[in-house]
Amino acid sequence: MPAEAPEEPQAESGVLQTATFAGGCFWCTEAIFKRIRGVQSVTSGYTGGQMENPSYGQVSSGHTGHAEAVQVTFDPHVVSYDSLLDVFWSTHDPTTLDRQGADVGHQYRSAVFYHDEEQRRAAEASRERWQASGKFQDKIVTSVEPFSRFYPAEGYHQDYYDANPHASYCSIVIEPKIRKLLRDFRDEVKEEYR
């Protein structure tokens, strides 16, 4: 039986919502989103491919079609989907096809996986706004794809940055992204991470 994300819990202010983003290595993307106010949980995993319940090794081979992604459970009364999209565009390079830094392959693509029509429209409108903003010299290549299934990654991938802050990848790749988040989105960051 394939592992699937748990059912969405409820917030005091209502039902929580789910967003799914792929911005290269999921360690980076998870570390960013778990610091945002209103985010209840972030799970690293795989989505957008053909194989059921893939392993990290299978996804890393580039043959399953999956992207390394994060599933974000959030309270829309605290943080909007549009705000999450702004964090997404700002904390990775959406102009490189199938690549983030040294990570190369379709599994490292930039993608927004929408859960409903409202998210699709919001993601496409946000992508157009960011393209028109002039913040990127090159064309945004991020795909907006329908969400189908999400498979949580193996346990050692969850909370990777917080569990391994002194690992070289964390200090060289993830730390600068977190510093950028604190600089550009300080008011949206949870108090304990400021």
- List pLDDT tens digits, range 94-153: 999 999 988 899 999 999 999 999 999 999 999 999 999 999 999 999 999 999 999 999
Measure the CA–CA gap between 84 and 75, rounded to whole angstroms: 11
- List pLDDT tens digits, range 37-47: 999 999 999 99
In a domain, 121, yes or no: yes
Can you tell me which residue has the tokens 């498979």?
151
Q: Provide the percentage of residues in the chain whose pLDDT is more than 90.
A: 90
Q: Which of 25, 79, 123, 189 is catalytic?
A: 25
Instruction: Kindly report the number of other CB atoms within 10 A of residue 7's CB atom.
Output: 6
Q: Mean pLDDT throughout 79-99?
A: 97
Phi, psi for 83 (deg, rounded to 5): -65, -40
What one-character DSSP code corresponds to residue 189? B
What pTM, to 2 d.p., does this model score? 0.91
In a domain, 3, yes or no: no
In a domain, 192, yes or no: no
Q: Are 108 and 61 in contact (CB under 8 A)?
A: no
In a domain, 64, yes or no: yes
Higher pLDDT, residue 32 or 13 = 32
The mean of the pLDDT values for the chain is: 93
Q: Are 40 and 97 in contact (CB under 8 A)?
A: no
Predicted confidence at residue 12, as pLDDT, reads 52
In a domain, 180, yes or no: yes
DSSP string, 36-82: BTTEEEEEEEEESSSSSS--HHHHHTT-S--EEEEEEEE-TTTS-HH
In a domain, 4, yes or no: no
Measure the CA–CA gap between 38 and 147, rounded to whole angstroms: 22
Q: For the domain that residue 136 is a member of, what is the CATH number?
A: 3.30.1060.10
Domain of residue 51 covers 10-187
In a domain, 140, yes or no: yes
pLDDT of 6 above 50: no
| pLDDT level of residue 172 (50, 70, 90 thresholds) | very high
Can you tell me which residue has the tokens 């993608």?
111
In a domain, 194, yes or no: no
- The total of structural domains in the chain comes to 1
28 classed as catalytic? no
